[in-house]
Amino acid sequence: MEWGTDMGILDGKRILVTGVLTDSSIAYSVARLAQEEGARVVLTGFGRLSLVERISRRLPEPPPVIELDVQNTEHLDTLADRVGEHIDGLDGVVHSIGFAPQTALGGNFLNTSWEDVATAVHVSTYSFKSLAVACLPLMKGGGSVVGLDFDASKAWPVYDWMGVAKAGLESCSRYLARDLGKHGIRVNLVAAGPLRTMAAKSIPGFAEFEESWPAKAPLGWDLTDPAPAARACLALLSDWFPATTGEIVHVDGGVHAMGA
Instruction: Please identify every residue annotated as catalytic.
Output: 159, 166
Residue of 31, 41, 93, 123 that binds ligand NAD (CB under 6 A): 123
The contact mask relative to ligand NAD for 180-219 (x = CB under 6 A, - = no) is ------------x-xx-xxxx-------------------
CB-nearer residue toward ligand NAD: 11 or 225: 225
Size of the site for ligand NAD (CB under 6 A): 28
d(CA 221, CA 17): 25
Buried b / exposed e over 135-144, threshold 16 CB at 10 Å, is: bbebbeeebb
The answer to whether residues 146 and 95 touch, using CB atoms and an 8 Å cutoff, is yes
Tell whether residue 15 is among the known ligand binding residues: no
How many other C-beta atoms are found inside a 10 Å radius of the C-beta of residue 221? Answer: 22
Q: Which of 41, 42, 97, 121 binds ligand NAD (CB under 6 A)?
A: 97
Site for ligand NAD contains 101 (CB under 6 A): no
> Using CA atoms, how far apart are residues 110 and 179, in angstroms rounded to an integer?
35
Is 100 annotated for ligand binding? Answer: yes
On the CB side of 29, how many CA atoms lie within 13 Å of its CA?
A: 18
Instruction: Give dist(CA 121, CA 161) in Å, integer.
Output: 9
What residue ranges in 18-74 does DSSP mark as E strands?
A: 40-45, 65-67
26 is in an annotated binding site: yes
Q: 178, 171 in Cβ contact below 8 A?
A: no
Figure out which of the listed residues 16, 43, 46, 130 binds ligand NAD, where binding follows CB under 6 A.
46
Specify whether the CB–CB gap between 43 and 20 falls below 8 A. yes
Q: Which is nearer to ligand NAD, 8 or 98 (CB)?
A: 98
| String of contacts with ligand NAD for each residue 16-35, x by CB under 6 A | ---xxxx--xxx--------
Length of the chain, in residues? 260
Contact between 71 and ligand NAD (CB under 6 A)? yes
Q: Any known ligand binding at 168?
A: no
Among 186, 107, 209, which residue's Cα sits nearest to residue 139? Answer: 186
The DSSP secondary-structure symbol of 93 reads E
The strand pairing partners of 87, in sequence order, are: none
Q: How far is the CB of 58 from ligand NAD (least distance, A)?
A: 14
- Which stretch, 67-75, 82-90, 101-109, 238-246, contacts ligand NAD (CB under 6 A)? 67-75
Q: Judged by CB under 6 A, which stretch of 58-66, 93-101, 133-141, 238-246 contacts ligand NAD?
A: 93-101
The verdict on whether residue 255 carries a ligand-binding annotation is no
| Closest C-alpha among 99, 92, 115, 113 to residue 42 | 92
For ligand NAD, give the closer residue by CB, 56 or 245. Answer: 56
The binding site consists of 19, 25-26, 69-70, 97, 100, 166
The binding site for NAD(+) consists of 19, 25-26, 69-70, 97, 166
Binding site for ligand NAD (CB under 6 A): 19-22, 25-27, 46-47, 68-71, 96-99, 123, 148-150, 192, 194-195, 197-200
